[in-house]
Structure 1
Amino acid sequence: MNCRFAVSLLCFAFSAVLAAAPVSLDVKGRLDAAGLLFCGDNYANRRNYTQGSAKEWKLDKLERDPKAGRWSSAGEVQLPDAEKITFSGELRRVAENQYTYDFTLRNVKYNFTLRAAIPANTFAGRSLVFDGKPFRLPLEKKNLSLSSGSARKIEIPCDNGSLVIESGQPVYFNLHDYRPGTKTFSLLMRMQKTEESVRELHLKLTYRPYSSTPLDLRKAVNMGFRDETASDGKGGWTDQGPENDLRMLKPGLRMFHGTKFDIIDPAKNGGRSCLVLAGVARDYMPVRAETAVAPGIKGRWLFLLHAVAWGSSAPELGKVTLTYEDGTTEIIRPRNGYDVGNWWGPSPRANGEVVWTGENRSSYVGLYRSAYPVQEKEIRKIEFESANRAVWMIVAASVGNERPPRFMSVPFYITAGKNWKPVDFSRDVLPGSVLDFSGKLDAPAGKYGPVVIRNGHFEFSGKPGVQQRFYGTNLCSAGPFLPREWAERFADRMAQYGFNIVRIHHHDGGIGRKDRTYELDAEKNDRLDYLIYCLKKRGIYLTTDLYISRRLPAGEIPEYPGRLTNIGSYKAMFWILDSVWENWKTHVRNYLAHVNPYTGVALKDDSVLVSVSIINEGNIKSCWASEPFTRKLYEERFAQWRAANNLPQNVSPGEHTRQFERFLTETYEKRYAQMTEFVRSLGLKCPLTDQNMGTTPKLSQMRRDYDYVDVHGYSNHPAFARTPWQLPSLSGQTSALAGSFPVPWHLASSRLFGKPFAVTEWDYAYPNRFRAEGAPVIGAYGGLQGWDMLVQFAYSHGQERIMKENAPGSFFDIAVDPVKSLGVRIGGALFSQNGIRPADKAFAVRLTAHDEIPFETPFNGSISLLGQIARVGVVVGENAEAEKLLPRDTVAILNPGTAFPKDSLPRLPVFDAAPGKDDLIARIVRSGLIDKTRFEAENGIFRSLDGRIELNRKAQTFRAVSDVCEAFVLPAGRSGKGDFLSAKSLTGRGVIAAVSTDNRPLKETDRILLLHLTDSHRTKTKFASSDMKQLDSWGTLPYLAARGEAEITLNPEPGAQYRLFAVNTAGKRLNEIPLVRKNNGLSAMLKVFQPSGAVFAYELQKIK
């Protein structure tokens, strides 16, 4: 039988939600049983004639009476060159969840089947049972025909129950695998010949719902779903405030993938609906809780609906203890990463299915269902106990006799075909080609003197009044220690990107000796010195950190037991142990003060060094409890601090947290003062910063003493299914345009007016298929905000991806990602001085310098969203100080709901911007400070004040138009219009951009780089399923490009003429693309799949 027919012709579909009756006839007269549609079918003339979809089946009569349990249908089938056939179907409910179905065709000369399509994406891996013999549906296709034979009884495991089909006579069946075409398995049951021209099937259908009994946790729960105030020790969920709670979860009896859970209504239970157990980040939560279980409840499986927050790398999460009526106990030990994962950005785990998802004001969130076999005995009591590492949130529990089948993933490969074609990827660009942006640099670096801070921005001392923006990438791990010939080659690559800064990062673990890490390894230090020399002579500056990931041998820190491999522990001890402080000072002195023989100066004295972050991501609140040793150390020091300050010991959880955070703040500020004093004593003059992670009001207060602010942010940062930083990895497949994601919008509220603002780590991580949008988006909004530095993470981790063609893939490294490697040029152009101009209105958040703010109190997310229209930032200090820091074009003050000055500036209006005030932008629009055309809430449209940037969240489109670059993010069928370039995506989602190669306006320059970016992967890149959320294998060469087609229209100066060439990733011209005159413009078709091969780039050359 040939079943290569389109999905649109299938008469059967899978219903995610069962109707009130588990078995019925649908509106086309087809049998709908447990969400599967069974249809009459005949194969003839090389096609299928299928009930409900083929026009040859005509329904004349349909009666449906669910209340009485009776359904019937009748009609005709007119096959070509055959007499008219009549059919009838009779369905009767004979008992609860039991039915009889009689399907009859008369005047038949051919074989007919009753056929069900079983969706492969949900049923693969499950077993159908034929007369007691199971047959497992394969995860990957091997053959068309899977099984055949005769059976009286067929059992199908559906999502919420099992469907049993029985017949008094053996029924001949066929089971086929029609992937990848229809993405279904097909079960065909041959209709029986009862008379010469009659075909019949008489079936008994039984639906057996998976039984489960929810446990009543009302007396054990301690938190609600809503939280109005962060870190106050009460309220709801993880106590992170209204920007980050679970208020969208609806209470009541809910069925999640076949398991019934009782979601407690907090309004009917004293505000409590879930059990949140203590972890490092919420040590004031209870460690354990228990509750009695109603009599008579037993089963073979225990189900938990739960999640974790602030997940620890350690798998130990806690334990569940069941006490049975006979006095025996059973202990279950859920594991973080195996049974359950983080509620932010949830991804399936080995024993943790994501069964509920939602979105709060901060993230995409979800809950996991885990199943554990237990003894089938009556349960008297259930107890939950935390291991006090990750915060563990239990929403509900249930006991059942069957484990519902989980959704097994079907492996999905990226292979060459109609949608993917090989694309050449060269890391080296042809000098002078359209991809060579080295002419934009002003070499050598340092020619205008050191970087200084004036008017809240970076400037060169020798170019007063001119803001200097820095745009580049990170070089990590062993990457900075390249052999000389490769150092030269790497520096050339950086220049050809147009990068004017490189962040040397994760190098401190390699530059030191193995036995004494604070002393420099002579060979590696020489290689780094030479690399700095190579970058400097090409006009490329540096930024770096003074501790990142240096791991220490046993004994280097006397107090620490053994080898120090946990970098979080070093950071934690740095703030309170003098031995670590001295270790760090020695390393820093050696690193900064030695003279580079190639430049002739020490790094501390070299104007190539733009800025320094002291401890990378060393926020004291995030690292103090990195392991039990550091946690105990801090608890001991905290006890000493409390005693020295005569503070009471027996206090409420909220007061305990306030005291501890005050201790952390004082501890940090004391060490920070010592750090800055020490590095300044060495002679280091460049700007300094610290705590480059996080965007809270508390951090804004603490950053007031820094020279500049540096914050990191990622979109779709990977998580890991088993081992950290090893495959399989887990990541979202969502566009940052559609939701509230950190980069770049959540970063905006962490900027302090009066100080330069840098993002030294940003990335839209692989394998997210939307990642090409990252560089245009952050470049445009960085320009709109007037930020000072953007540094993508990263070019390469190590040397292999720099030096070898077949190096392994990476989540971040553009050295092995064609789409991101090309796309960063768009971000650089939009962020440049000639790119997107800063908005001409500013909105300032006011904070006092010393009022206490909990570390976890967030900014209202609407403040950052306001940054898509105008400039936003924070001012810390009292009125006189604040007046000096406020930008001259500030039009309003935002009250963040915490630490707001009592005497605000009277000349400016004040808007309530406390967490939860979602209508902030709407109120500003109503005030007239922002034109109503700049914000359309119902469509999710944000336009910058000058209209040069437009984001449409609903349509997932983006537009940025500047003099030197115009860029669009366009799903198929969407258009974008600029001053020089207009585009319409015809096939596939695309990032389409025009970039000036010499910083002259697009209409004036002689050569323009056109980019049309879709997606890229290596051949045979393997995902766990077609949703591409779990990456299992990096694949092999060659790279493959995703299909894409777009029509562009150019609006050049009158009389200007151009030629257009497809170019490869080295910038070499390939085939010429015809340009057609249309409506005073020039039009062309851009196709990723060209006769010369797959391409992402084009050269537009003006004819003189």
Structure 2
Amino acid sequence: MRLLLTLLSLLTTAAPAVADDVWSPVREVSLELGPGSPLDFSGFLANPPIEDASRIVINGDGRLARANALEKPVRFLCASLGWSPASGGFPDHDGADRYARQLRMHGYNIARFHFVDAALMFGRSRDFDFDTEVMDRFHYLMAALKRNGIYWIMDGLTSSRGAYGGYEDRWEFNSDLKLTVQIEEDAFQHWLRFQEKVLATVNPYTGIAPIRDPALALIIPFNENSIEFDSILHERDGTPHYSDKLRPAFNDWLKKRYGSTDKLADAWGWVQRGERIEDGTVGLPANRYEKSPRMRDLQAFFVDVETRSAERMTQALRKLGYTGIVSPYNNWPSIQTSLSRAGQQAVAMNTYQDWVGSYEPGSSIQQKSSIADGAAYMRVIAAARWLGRPFFVTEYDHLFWSRYRYEAGIVMPAYGALQNWDVLCRHAHGPIILAYGEDFAHKRQMLPYAIALDPVARAGETLAALLFRRGDVRGSPVSIPFLIKGEEDLTQSVEARERDDLTSLALLSAIGLSRPDDNHLAGKQDLTIPSPRRNASADAIIAALRDRDILDYDNETDVADGVYVSDTDEIRLDRDKLRISVTTGQTEAIAFADLPGSIRLKSLTAAGASGSGMFAVSSLDGLPVAASRRLLVIFATDARNSGMRFADAEERVIADFGHLPVLIKVGSIAFTLPGKGNWRLSPVGLDGRVHPPVASGQGDISTRLSNDAPDGPTTYFLIERD
């Protein structure tokens, strides 16, 4: 009670007056952490050496683990490396050593190589005429990452231009290679040759071909190459939604299934005049919004093509010597693509909140909170996972310039941990930079996917290292199976996916897909989502969770009010208040659209925030928050570029992205923590350097914190107790 009274006193005496937003320029240039910095997590998030014995495998529980420690599942925080010439490309050798060391210090233990094909072929006129300097830098960076205990994820191909010469649009979607690689032999052989020349060729800096290296944990044969999704990317006004290149294979498939046009007409109810499978003249659906037996069969055809393509690519990689994990079709959470992934040894998925497709003026976002829809971008991929297999989130982001992107630092790592996911990768050109001010097009200002320059995104990644990789948030002890029988689950809509009300169960417990004969069903009939879904009830599942005491008696989940509390009692989402909080032994955190009053988590009480943001307190010494003598405070509001302009009052449409320096929105929040002994609160720069204290005292901490520190704005502070 004394703490609460003190805090209320602070609110009445120190709360800021209502005023226009104030933005303060970031002063740091170098962002390299020094050893022992509060942001150097390598001491308690150690990366063991990568050797044959520590190769990443799938253990008996379907989790990722090192081969020499199968009983210890490993969570991976992934560094997305999607470099292009516009973002500076691969660093030189010295830069690679520094970069890899910094990734380790920031808590990363796996990295994803993305668009390597485009980087190798940029400016090249002949097929497979790789830039030798880029190849050298790529090889060296792989070795530098491995020396720092950082595993690799590789795209077999990313660019729809593959390794064909003579193209300037390698980061765009103007080619159909992602489709043809699955249905045309020449395209498949092109894909295979790239694997041979890049992955199956010895890296001079490791002495082994990447495909045989224990550092390679996952291959995605071709990024985002599901047929339906690729057709959407190629959709243009006035053109068919589905490529006519599919027609011959579709007709062959129909002929094998039905035998004759008469039997096809009986199954569909009709065919158009002139359509005959004997002549290969049966057409594709007129558009993707058609709901018909033809559309249902097209989906079954997609499943067949994608399943056989995935098997062929996997076998090709095995013949080249790869023994690790393969996971094709890493996006699009429809029923059809779930069936395509049914036979895979692992599932990888991509997802976005407020997706942005261009850096040009006029680009727009919705400025929507992810909490407002109950973290739907998380739930849709949770429902695409197959239980009992590893799950890789190969891309996610709540994109700049959304004012709500501070939510991502809690939403995805907290729920990813609850779901028992294995890998979490926030998509980016690169997750960190060594310094502001590099003269490359994508580093002259913050942009979508340029999270390294964004203090808000970086604050979220810092918290993710603690919530997800360190394991501050526990995994759910139960998983709710969503049954899928097979092709009979397809509907006449290609857009069909799991119902929103059912995926809301991911806010309480782990969810995922399961076959009716899988072992995940033993003793769980009352916790199972049946197939078909028409009789499924989220309310019935929640009641069963309560009956089994999986949800505690005092669990405050109330679906009608939009309140969801996890079965571990660590995560609470309040949809209508746009708040999410995490309360664990070593971290207490909250993201909020507003916080005019006070809220108590466990040890932490926060109140009187000047605006929206994310506030977290995490132990750095392994002790619980209440007993810790060294705590990292993270306070993220918003950030934008100098001179940034919008075309509308809601700040949805970009007129000009502006330029450096980055500006952080000035904010403040009052908070209390119990404790004993002398304490001091010191700003920590974005470079990890500890500055002189801005507050101190004895016993309980009760203060108002402003992110506009004397040495410049920041998102980090350090609490130390004697």
Q: TM-score, normalised by structure 1?
A: 0.56
| 1:486-885 pair list within 5 angstroms | 486-512=95-121, 514-518=124-128, 520-551=130-161, 566=173, 569-624=176-231, 626=234, 631-645=243-257, 646-648=259-261, 651=268, 652=270, 654-719=292-357, 724-796=358-430, 804=438, 807-854=444-491, 855-876=494-515, 878-879=516-517, 882-883=518-519, 885=520
Aligned to 1:445: 50
Aligned to 2:642: 1019
Question: Which AA in structure 2 matches 1:697?
Answer: I
Aligned to 1:1060: 681
Local SS of the residue matching 1:794: coil
Identify which of 522, 532, 552 aligns with 1:897. 532
Aligned to 2:3: none
Find out whether 1:986 has 2:616 as its counterpart. Answer: no
Distance in 2, matches of 1:788 and 1:889, equals 23
Task: Answer yes or no: is the 8 Å Cα contact 2:126–2:164 preserved in 1.
Answer: no
Identify which of 420, 425, 428 aligns with 2:23. 420
Task: Answer yes or no: is the 8 Å Cα contact 2:396–2:427 preserved in 1.
Answer: yes
Distance in 2, matches of 1:766 and 1:481, equals 23
Q: Measured at CA, do residues 447 and 679 of structure 1 come closer, stay the same or move farther in structure 2, by a change above 3 Å?
A: closer
Local SS of the residue matching 2:199: helix
Find out whether 1:475 has 2:475 as its counterpart. Answer: no
Distance in 2, matches of 1:974 and 1:781, equals 26
Segment drifting more, 735-744 vs 614-623:
735-744
Q: Measured at CA, do residues 998 and 494 of structure 1 come closer, stay the same or move farther in structure 2, by a change above 3 Å?
A: farther
Q: Measured at CA, do residues 490 and 833 of structure 1 come closer, stay the same or move farther in structure 2, by a change above 3 Å?
A: closer
How much has 1:672 moved relative to structure 2? 1.9
Task: Answer yes or no: is the 8 Å Cα contact 2:306–2:340 preserved in 1.
Answer: no
Aligned to 2:670: 1047
Task: Answer yes or no: is the 8 Å Cα contact 1:1075–1:1083 preserved in 2.
Answer: no
Distance in 2, matches of 1:798 and 1:967, equals 23
Segment drifting more, 633-642 vs 925-934:
925-934
Cα RMSD over matched residues?
A: 3.1
Local SS of the residue matching 1:1101: strand
Segment drifting more, 710-719 vs 795-804:
795-804
Aligned to 2:713: 1094
Local SS of the residue matching 1:639: helix
Local SS of the residue matching 2:376: coil
Local SS of the residue matching 1:1060: strand
How much has 1:741 moved relative to structure 2? 4.7
Structure with a larger share of its residues in helix: 2
Q: Measured at CA, do residues 790 and 564 of structure 1 come closer, stay the same or move farther in structure 2, by a change above 3 Å?
A: closer
Aligned to 1:1085: 704
Task: Answer yes or no: is the 8 Å Cα contact 1:611–1:688 preserved in 2.
Answer: yes
Distance in 1, matches of 2:342 and 2:196, equals 26
How much has 1:925 moved relative to structure 2? 6.4
How much has 1:1061 moved relative to structure 2? 0.5
Distance in 1, matches of 2:198 and 2:248, equals 33
Aligned to 2:591: 969
Task: Answer yes or no: is the 8 Å Cα contact 1:767–1:1031 preserved in 2.
Answer: no
Distance in 2, matches of 1:563 and 1:830, equals 36
Find out whether 1:464 has 2:70 as its counterpart. Answer: yes
Find out whether 1:436 has 2:40 as its counterpart. Answer: yes
Q: Measured at CA, do residues 920 and 568 of structure 1 come closer, stay the same or move farther in structure 2, by a change above 3 Å?
A: farther
CA deviation digits over 1:25-65, x for unaligned, max 9? xxxxxxxxxxxxxxxxxxxxxxxxxxxxxxxxxxxxxxxxx
CA deviation digits over 1:154-198, x for unaligned, max 9? xxxxxxxxxxxxxxxxxxxxxxxxxxxxxxxxxxxxxxxxxxxxx
How much has 1:447 moved relative to structure 2? 7.0
Q: Measured at CA, do residues 987 and 508 of structure 1 come closer, stay the same or move farther in structure 2, by a change above 3 Å?
A: same
Distance in 1, matches of 2:173 and 2:560, equals 47
Distance in 1, matches of 2:321 and 2:130, equals 19
Q: Measured at CA, do residues 830 and 985 of structure 1 come closer, stay the same or move farther in structure 2, by a change above 3 Å?
A: farther
Identify which of 477, 484, 498 aligns with 2:93. 484
Count of residue pairs the alignment pairs up: 658
Task: Answer yes or no: is the 8 Å Cα contact 2:625–2:631 preserved in 1.
Answer: yes
Local SS of the residue matching 1:1070: coil
Identify which of 560, 577, 584 aligns with 1:938. 560
Q: Measured at CA, do residues 1048 and 458 of structure 1 come closer, stay the same or move farther in structure 2, by a change above 3 Å?
A: same
Aligned to 1:80: none
How much has 1:922 moved relative to structure 2? 5.8
Identify which of 569, 576, 579 aligns with 1:957. 579
Q: Measured at CA, do residues 800 and 1005 of structure 1 come closer, stay the same or move farther in structure 2, by a change above 3 Å?
A: closer
Structure with higher Rg: it is 1
Give ranges in structure 2 of 5+ residues lacking alignment: 1-18, 271-290
Local SS of the residue matching 2:202: coil
Distance in 2, matches of 1:896 and 1:950, equals 30
Aligned to 1:288: none
How much has 1:1044 moved relative to structure 2? 1.3
How much has 1:1005 moved relative to structure 2? 4.8
How much has 1:982 moved relative to structure 2? 2.5
Distance in 2, matches of 1:418 and 1:662, equals 54
| 1:89-168 pair list within 5 angstroms | none
Question: Which AA in structure 2 matches 1:500?
Answer: N
Local SS of the residue matching 1:763: strand
CA deviation digits over 1:478-521, x for unaligned, max 9? 36622112212221321222111111101111224824444543
Distance in 2, matches of 1:555 and 1:1024, equals 39
Distance in 1, matches of 2:544 and 2:192, equals 49
How much has 1:1022 moved relative to structure 2? 0.5
Local SS of the residue matching 2:383: helix
Aligned to 2:279: none
CA deviation digits over 1:935-967, x for unaligned, max 9? 113321111123211111111111102223221
How much has 1:800 moved relative to structure 2? 11
Aligned to 2:278: none
Distance in 2, matches of 1:1098 and 1:712, equals 32
Q: Measured at CA, do residues 643 and 746 of structure 1 come closer, stay the same or move farther in structure 2, by a change above 3 Å?
A: closer
Structure with a larger share of its residues in strand: 1
Q: Measured at CA, do residues 554 and 693 of structure 1 come closer, stay the same or move farther in structure 2, by a change above 3 Å?
A: closer
Aligned to 2:273: none
Task: Answer yes or no: is the 8 Å Cα contact 1:1006–1:1102 preserved in 2.
Answer: yes
Distance in 2, matches of 1:1039 and 1:799, equals 14
Distance in 1, matches of 2:622 and 2:152, equals 23
Distance in 2, matches of 1:598 and 1:555, equals 27
Task: Answer yes or no: is the 8 Å Cα contact 2:335–2:498 preserved in 1.
Answer: yes
How much has 1:1075 moved relative to structure 2? 3.6
Distance in 1, matches of 2:164 and 2:669, equals 60
How much has 1:700 moved relative to structure 2? 2.4
Q: Percent identity?
A: 24
Task: Answer yes or no: is the 8 Å Cα contact 1:1061–1:1098 preserved in 2.
Answer: yes
